[in-house]
């Protein structure tokens, strides 16, 4: 890529893309709170992606549970249970040191998405954790997000990708399995077939 064609200034960027009009839809729909319409997106979403930032860089983490798993407390606050995962705690480590977060909510079959940018903190309040119980298991912490910018995203990306079309679903056989990946990375120290065979039971035991 030639440096001659690199975009290195805001002026150059805006010369190419222009700038949304202050009273245009892309700007008008941005609020500093969760409106009743935006609340509905959160209440029916079973999947959300959370981006965080820290000294080592950025992290983007998928979060999912039954619809409404992200609790809207009021017009400025949402709460997210931290369910069991890989225990890397990259997102949580970032939040402790830099509270900035960005959330992207997706809803199966719906092209539009909802975005929340704000600040997060972690809580281990026993009563709060208990209120997020799932299958007898409690989250170890709750991510409490104060919304600063809230807006919907147009469906162009999901329309172009045809994301929700079942005819476009990729079979598992088209990709390497988790066991195959682990066997390759560890140069055979992990038996891929055994890893894959044990995974369903492991998932069932550790889902919550």
Place of tokens 């150059």: 12
Nearest to 106 by CA among 117, 115, 97, 93: 115
Place of tokens 């931290």: 82
Residue scoring higher pLDDT (97 or 23) = 97
pLDDT in tens, 64-118: 999 999 999 999 999 999 999 888 999 999 999 999 999 999 999 999 999 999 9
Pairing of strands 142-153, 113-123: antiparallel
Whole-prediction pTM:
0.92
Percent of the chain with pLDDT over 70: 99
pLDDT for residue 58: 95
Q: Give the 3-state secondary structure of 148-165.
A: EEEEEECCHHHHHHCCCC
**Is 21-161 a domain of CATH 2.60.40.10?**
no
pLDDT in tens, 157-179: 999 999 999 999 999 999 999 99
Contact 79, 71 (CB under 8 A): yes
Q: What backbone torsions phi and psi does residue 200 show, to the nearest 5 degrees?
A: -55, -45
- Averaged pLDDT of the chain: 94
20 has a pLDDT exceeding 90? no
Report domain extents, the chain. 21-161, 170-206
Contact 65, 82 (CB under 8 A): no
């Amino acid at each position: 890529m030639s440096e001659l064609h690199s975009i290195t200034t805001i002026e150059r960027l805006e010369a190419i893309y222009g700038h949304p009009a202050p009273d245009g839809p892309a700007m008008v729909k941005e609020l500093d709170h969760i409106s009743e319409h935006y609340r509905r997106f959160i209440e029916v979403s079973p999947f959300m992606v959370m981006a965080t930032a820290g000294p080592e860089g950025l992290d983007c983490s998928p979060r999912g549970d039954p619809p409404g798993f992200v609790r809207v407390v009021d017009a400025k606050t949402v709460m997210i249970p931290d369910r069991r995962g890989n225990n890397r705690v990259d997102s949580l480590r970032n939040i402790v040191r830099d509270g900035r977060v960005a959330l992207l909510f997706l809803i199966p079959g719906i092209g539009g998405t909802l975005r929340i940018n704000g600040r997060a903190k972690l809580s281990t309040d026993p009563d709060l954790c208990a209120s997020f119980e799932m299958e007898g298991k409690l989250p170890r912490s709750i991510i409490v997000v104060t919304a600063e910018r809230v807006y919907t995203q147009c469906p162009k990306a999901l329309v172009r990708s045809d994301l929700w079309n079942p005819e476009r679903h990729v079979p598992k056989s088209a990709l390497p399995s988790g066991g195959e990946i682990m066997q390759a990375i560890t140069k055979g120290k992990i038996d891929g077939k055994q890893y894959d065979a044990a995974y369903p039971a492991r998932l069932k035991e550790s889902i919550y």
